[in-house]
């Protein structure tokens, strides 16, 4: 179901106040209900101010005016509606002043003092204070989901990276996330794989996976036989029936093949430090009959006399699997409110079919789609390449500085891994899923521009400012006061407190790229602040060091949401 906007009126926020937009919406809601009691369906519309008259604006006036036009003598134009909304806002120490512009936009200026206190509050209570409040409590995130006996390609790698970050952002926002690895572990390909295994590795049961060796080779060889040899094809088809019938030898062989693949996939999950729970296609088999029955009852399917092995039938089974996943399991049993599929564009047609069938039958809500582009690189090779390139660069730079000798081999490896994998992750996350893009290692590992390396460097620089002060930052968090008198301090402060609504937007629109953009902007805004406001040795040193610390805390939280290891362990 589609992620909707922020929750209004739900109290699953714990100690969190919610994003600025959320808090302003609550105030505006009070005003709307008081002035327009009959328009109880109107939801507050709050946006960041586009003009320089305020920080935020309320955009409800025009919509409300078009509804009440002619019905009320009091409101002659949208501007008068805006005036009334502004006048009836309840008192709040958030708001410094309001003004109404043009067709009723209510511009809101936040109080400097309140912004400063908000930052201090986050510093003493932790970044959790800036977690947004969402309208969802439980979500399934279906990601990674490679296919047994095949390689994990870059599309799967991307899904793994993006799916993990979406899960982390939701978890940070207090949502219970079921991280699902929907591996392709069922289907007719197992017939040919198993028969080929029996023919060529008679002792497969005794010596375990070692004897089978390279699964990709097994897959290719059995596919060749399947295509070329009609008698093998027939045996393979029977094998499918025997496997699906639960015959022990076939079931064991299937399990063995899955285990070998699983071990290969796990290497990638360990590299990326991603946690997933495997519930593959086969897991949902027992639920098939019920869904078939329901679809038949609703007249949505009819029995076909076609061959069960043909392409159409396979596609149908595949869709059916996802359909029942949606209905029986994810919606009814797991009771997920959001079901998020992170998959590449190769699956577009499949999901079009699944969602339209689901909508025709039981799914009331809309779906929101946009899939990741596909490339054919092999996932593991891609990660290895990123690591070796970052290592070469590291060795070169250390060599240039004459510092190579100070580094142990292990340190080099670890750093190359963190920087290389981090670069791949960040490049995937920062690209909007709705736009295709081409990979470039050079760009990915660049230390200028919007890259992981640049952000990690920016963070390290802020930490070194704090270190150079010689002050105990933990102490200052409790005793110091943040003041935002300089224009660039105010800009930095405002950007910092917008963290919650950015995470909220990234979650509701499923766009991790929004958070990447935010952090890149933060580091630029920080640079401007640091250039115009002297920190060390100034009269405002304490306040400014606290702003440095708040910036670093936000950066670290983003690194954590992106799992840019090991830089999260500061």
Binding site for ligand ARG (CB under 6 A): 142, 145-147, 182, 184, 322, 341, 343, 346-347
Q: How far is the CB of 570 from ligand ARG (least distance, A)?
A: 36
Name the residue number minimizing CB distance to ligand ARG: 145
Q: How far is the CB of 348 from ligand ARG (least distance, A)?
A: 11
Cβ closer to ligand ARG: 54 or 184? 184
Closest contact distance (angstroms) between CB of 469 and ligand ARG is 50
- DSSP class of residue 128? G
Please tell me the distance from the alpha carbon of residue 380 to that of residue 150, in angstroms, as a whole number. Answer: 13
| CB contact set of 34 (below 8 Å; sequence gap of 6+) | 88
Tokens 């936009």 sit on residue: 105
Decide whether 342 or 452 has the Cβ nearer to ligand ARG.
342
Nearer residue to ligand ARG within complex by CB, 263 or 468? 263
Taking each helix axis from N to C end, the angle separating 541-562 and 409-430, rounded to the nearest 10 degrees, works out to 80
- Residues 120 and 482: beta-carbon distance below 8 Å: yes
**Cα-flanking dihedrals φ and ψ of residue 196, to 5°?**
-65, -40
> Within a 10 A sphere around the Cβ of 203, how many other Cβ atoms?
8
For 420-450, the DSSP string reads HHHHHHHHHHHS-TTS-----HHHHT-SSSS
Least spacing, CB of residue 417 vs ligand ARG, in Å: 26
Minimum distance of ligand ARG from residue 150's CB (angstroms):
8
Nearer to ligand ARG, 151 or 489 (CB): 151
Would you say 159 or 390 has its CB closer to ligand ARG?
A: 159
CB of 187 to ligand ARG, least distance (A): 10
Residue 533 is given by DSSP the state S
> Which residues 6+ apart lie within 8 Å of 183 measured at CB?
145, 146, 147, 148, 258, 261, 262, 265, 278, 280, 281
At closest approach, how far in Å is the CB of 180 from ligand ARG? 8
Residue placing its CB nearer to ligand ARG in the complex, 180 or 430: 180
150 versus 560: smaller Cβ distance to ligand ARG: 150
Q: Kindly state the smallest distance separating residue 450's Cβ from ligand ARG, in Å.
A: 28
Q: Please report the DSSP string for 339-398 in residue order.
A: EEE--BGGGHHHHHHHHHHHHHHT--S------B-----BHHHHHHHHHHHHHHHHHHHH
> What kind and span of H or E run contains 56?
strand 56-58
CB of 359 to ligand ARG, least distance (A): 17
Least separation in angstroms between CB 102 and ligand ARG: 47
CB of 36 to ligand ARG, least distance (A): 44
Q: Please, which residue, 146 or 512, has the CB nearer to ligand ARG?
A: 146
- Could you tell me if 106 and 51 are in contact, meaning their C-beta atoms sit under 8 angstroms apart? no
Where is 531: in which H helix or E strand? helix 512-532
Q: Report the SS3 class of residue 298.
A: coil
Q: 469 near 541, Cβ under 8 Å?
A: yes
Specify whether the CB–CB gap between 334 and 138 falls below 8 A: yes
Q: How far is CA 132 from CA 236, 295, 348, 554, in A?
A: 53, 39, 31, 14
Cα separation, 192 vs 210, in Å, equals 20
Among residues 132 and 184, whose Cβ is nearest to ligand ARG?
184
Rounded to the nearest whole angstrom, what is the least distance from the CB of residue 93 to ligand ARG in the complex?
A: 48
CB nearer to ligand ARG: pick between 173 and 188 = 188
Nearer of residues 269 and 407 to ligand ARG, judged by Cβ: 269
CB 379, min distance to ligand ARG, A: 12
Closest CA to 390 of 456, 462, 461, 463: 456
Cα–Cα distance between 484 and 493 in angstroms, integer?
7
Sign, Cα dihedral of 58, 64, 70, 72: negative
Smaller CB separation from ligand ARG, 132 or 146: 146
Give the residue with the Cβ less far from ligand ARG, 182 or 271.
182
């Amino acid at each position: 179901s589609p992620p909707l906007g922020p929750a209004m009126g739900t109290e699953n926020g714990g100690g969190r106040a919610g994003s600025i937009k959320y808090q302003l919406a609550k105030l505006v809601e009070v005003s709307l209900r008081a002035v327009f009691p009959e328009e109880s369906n109107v939801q507050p519309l709050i946006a960041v101010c586009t003009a320089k008259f305020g920080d935020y604006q309320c955009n409800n006036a025009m919509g409300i005016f078009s509804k009440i036009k002619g019905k009320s003598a009091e409101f002659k134009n949208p501007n008068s509606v805006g005036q009334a909304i502004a006048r009836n806002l309840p008192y709040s120490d958030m708001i410094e002043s309001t003004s109404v512009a043009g067709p009723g936009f209510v511009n809101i200026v936040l109080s400097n003092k309140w912004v400063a206190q908000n930052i201090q509050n986050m510093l003493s209570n932790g970044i959790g204070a800036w977690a947004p409040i969402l309208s969802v409590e439980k979500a399934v995130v279906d990601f990674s989901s490679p296919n047994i006996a095949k390689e994990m390609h870059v599309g799967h790698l991307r899904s793994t990276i993006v799916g993990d970050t979406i899960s982390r952002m939701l978890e940070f926002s207090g949502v219970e996330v079921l991280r699902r690895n929907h591996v392709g572990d069922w289907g007719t390909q197992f017939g040919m794989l198993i028969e080929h295994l029996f023919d060529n590795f008679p002792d497969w049961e005794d010596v375990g996976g070692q004897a089978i060796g390279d699964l990709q080779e097994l897959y290719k060889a059995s596919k060749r036989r399947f295509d070329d040899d009609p008698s093998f094809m027939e045996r393979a088809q029977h094998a499918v029936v025997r496997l699906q019938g639960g015959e022990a030898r076939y079931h064991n062989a299937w399990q063995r093949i899955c285990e070998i693949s699983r071990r290969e996939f796990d290497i990638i999950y360990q590299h990326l430090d991603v946690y997933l729970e495997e519930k593959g296609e086969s897991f949902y088999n027992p639920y098939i009959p019920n869904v078939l029955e329901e679809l038949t009852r609703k007249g949505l399917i009819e029995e076909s006399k076609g061959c069960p092995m043909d392409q159409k039938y396979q596609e149908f089974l595949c869709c059916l699997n996802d359909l029942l996943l949606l209905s029986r399991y994810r919606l009814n049993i797991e009771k997920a409110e959001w079901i998020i599929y992170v998959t590449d564009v190769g699956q577009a047609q499949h999901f079009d079919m699944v969602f339209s069938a689901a909508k025709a039958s039981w799914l009331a809500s809309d779906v929101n789609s946009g899939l990741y582009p596909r490339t054919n690189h092999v996932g593991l090779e891609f990660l290895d390449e990123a690591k070796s390139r970052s290592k070469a660069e590291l060795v070169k730079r250390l060599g240039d500085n004459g510092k190579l000798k100070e580094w142990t081999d292990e340190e080099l490896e670890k750093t190359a891994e963190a920087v290389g994998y981090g670069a791949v992750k960040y490049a995937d996350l920062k690209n909007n899923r709705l736009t295709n893009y081409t990979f470039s290692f050079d760009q990915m590992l660049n230390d200028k521009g919007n890259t992981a390396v640049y952000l990690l460097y920016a963070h390290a620089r802020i930490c070194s400012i704090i270190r150079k002060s010689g002050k105990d930052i933990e102490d200052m968090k409790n005793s110091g006061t943040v003041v935002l008198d300089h224009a660039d301090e105010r800009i930095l402060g405002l950007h910092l407190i917008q963290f919650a609504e950015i995470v909220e937007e990234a979650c509701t629109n499923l766009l991790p790229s929004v958070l990447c953009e935010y952090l890149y902007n933060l580091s630029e805004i920080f640079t401007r602040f640091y250039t115009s406001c002297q920190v060390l040795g100034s009269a405002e040193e304490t306040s400014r060091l606290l702003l440095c610390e708040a910036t670093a805390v936000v950066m670290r939280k983003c690194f954590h949401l992106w799992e840019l290891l090991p830089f999260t362990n500061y």
